[in-house]
């Protein structure tokens, strides 16, 4: 009988273990790493209340989100944190809409009518952007002849054009955001900010090859090699600055006449560093052995030349985001002097880390990631 009473007493205490004084909960939360901190809010109502008053330790590693394969019955996304190796977390209710871009813990998604929205991967909070439906003719206004010989807007003829490029920046605390997109082969481009009632055209995006966004500044790499910066804080005009042109020559890797035979795909990305400078990153996929090569260039203001570099120092490139992040040797889960990559349109399942020091690809070690079917993947860098 005494044993029964003892067990009941232990069980009773077990049910109340989470009801700790606020200062104790606050102390525990202050010791948790970023991912554990966000999970702790689900312990009980007392923890959730104190959790809302605390600030987490800053996250220091990129996370990977895997989007479900449409052929699979399970439509949940998987979230992988390299600091937790074999743990993969399931995210329900993100739906099947494609992800266009990300910033912090937020994804930029698009529905079939090209209406865009932001969704937070940690708490599923959603922010609907200005509906593109109401501005379709205005944004895609080129006039063409329809089959009956009547003039119609290009939007009416084509339905909804595909989104070519998209970038998002959001302040995790204030929820201020900027989103910029281009459509239909970059023939049309626009942006919107928090509080806007409409999308605003960006003429300076026409003919762009890549874009990156930090705060309210849009960095643009054009097909002709020129580089520009547009300040999207201006409502009536975009302040545009042209910088020195850059060309990533595949000919430096292979004779020009054999380029098409040697490479399956290639791309040049513009990347903003922690200090606000920027790099150009060229990537190529070799046809012969399906291996990847990367080249990183930085601008030398002394001679106005772009020069190749093999060292990022204690930084790493998150190519999906167009940024570099701190990656010193004492941070577990991130590799310094590396490029975090999640494929090109021809290779959306090619997810890896490219080490610039060794010039080798490092595949993800987690078997729980490599064994799961997925349609697309993106690197994230949660900040708060």
**Domain assignment of residue 101, yes or no:** yes
Task: Tell me the two tokens of residue 229.
Answer: 């910066």
The whole-number average pLDDT for the span 265-286 is: 88
Establish how many alpha carbons lie within 13 A of residue 343's alpha carbon, considering only the half-sphere containing its beta carbon.
15
Same domain, 116 and 241: yes
Same domain, 46 and 159: no
CA distance 87 to 175: 29
Q: Are residues 142 and 52 in the same domain?
A: no
Tokens of 281: 């990153």
Q: Is 27 part of any domain?
A: yes
Per-residue pLDDT tens digits for 132-188: 766 666 665 543 333 343 333 343 334 445 667 889 999 888 899 999 888 766 667
On whether both 36 and 174 belong to a single domain, the answer is no
Range of the domain at 28: 20-57
Q: How far is CA 344 from each of CA 285, 322, 371, rounded to the nearest angstrom?
A: 9, 14, 21
Q: Which letter does DSSP use for residue 61 in this model?
A: S
Residues 127 and 220 in one domain: yes
Cβ atoms 83, 343 nearer than 8 A: no
Same-domain status, 237 and 125? yes
For residues 138 and 133, give the distance between their C-alpha atoms in angstroms, rounded to a whole number. Answer: 10
pTM to 2 decimal places: 0.77
For 61-111, the pLDDT digits (tens) are: 888 888 877 766 667 788 888 777 666 777 776 777 888 899 988 999 988
CA distance 360 to 85: 21
Residues 151 and 204 in one domain: yes
- Percent residues over pLDDT 70 in the chain: 66
Q: What is the number of structural domains in the chain?
A: 2
Q: Is 159 among the domain residues?
A: yes
Distances (CA, A) of 374 to 66, 200, 264, 274, 351: 6, 35, 22, 31, 11
In what side-by-side order are the strands of the sheet with 63-67?
Answer: 88-91, 77-80, 63-67, 376-380
**Cβ atoms within 10 Å, residue 232:** 21
* Residue 182, in any domain of the structure: yes
């Amino acid at each position: 009988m005494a044993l029964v009473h003892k067990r009941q007493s232990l069980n009773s205490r077990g049910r109340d273990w989470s009801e700790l004084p606020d200062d104790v909960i606050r102390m525990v939360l202050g010791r948790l790493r970023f991912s554990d901190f966000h999970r702790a809010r689900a312990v009980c109502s007392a923890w959730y209340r104190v959790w809302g008053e605390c600030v987490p330790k800053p996250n220091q590693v990129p996370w990977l989100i895997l989007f479900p394969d449409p052929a699979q019955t399970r439509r949940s996304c998987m979230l992988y944190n390299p600091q937790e190796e074999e743990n993969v977390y399931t995210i329900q209710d993100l739906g099947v809409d494609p992800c266009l871009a990300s910033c912090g813990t937020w994804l930029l998604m698009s529905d079939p009518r090209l209406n865009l929205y932001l969704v937070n991967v940690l708490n599923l909070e959603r922010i609907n952007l200005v509906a593109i439906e109401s501005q379709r003719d205005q944004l895609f206004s080129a006039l063409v002849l329809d089959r009956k010989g009547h003039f119609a807007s290009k939007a009416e003829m084509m339905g909804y054009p595909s989104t070519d490029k998209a970038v998002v920046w959001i302040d995790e605390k204030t929820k201020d955001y900027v989103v910029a997109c281009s459509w239909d082969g970059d023939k049309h481009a626009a942006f919107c900010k928090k509080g806007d009632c409409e999308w605003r055209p960006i003429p300076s995006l026409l003919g762009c090859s890549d874009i990156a966004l930090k705060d309210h500044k849009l960095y643009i790499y054009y097909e002709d090699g020129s580089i520009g910066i547009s300040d999207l804080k201006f409502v009536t005009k975009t302040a545009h600055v042209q910088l020195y042109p850059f060309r990533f020559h595949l000919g430096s890797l292979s004779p020009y006449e054999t380029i098409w035979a040697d490479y399956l795909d290639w791309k040049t990305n513009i990347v903003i560093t922690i200090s606000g400078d920027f790099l150009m990153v060229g990537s190529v996929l070799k046809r012969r052995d399906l291996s990847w090569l990367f080249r990183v260039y930085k601008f030398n203001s002394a001679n106005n030349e772009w020069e190749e570099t093999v060292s990022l120092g204690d930084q790493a490139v998150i190519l999906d985001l167009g940024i570099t992040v701190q990656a010193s040797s004492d941070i577990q889960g991130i590799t310094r002097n590396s490029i975090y990559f999640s494929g090109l349109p021809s290779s959306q399942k090619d997810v890896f880390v490219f080490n610039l020091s060794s010039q080798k690809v490092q595949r993800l070690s987690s078997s729980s990631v490599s064994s799961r079917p997925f349609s697309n993947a993106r690197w994230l860098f949660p900040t708060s």
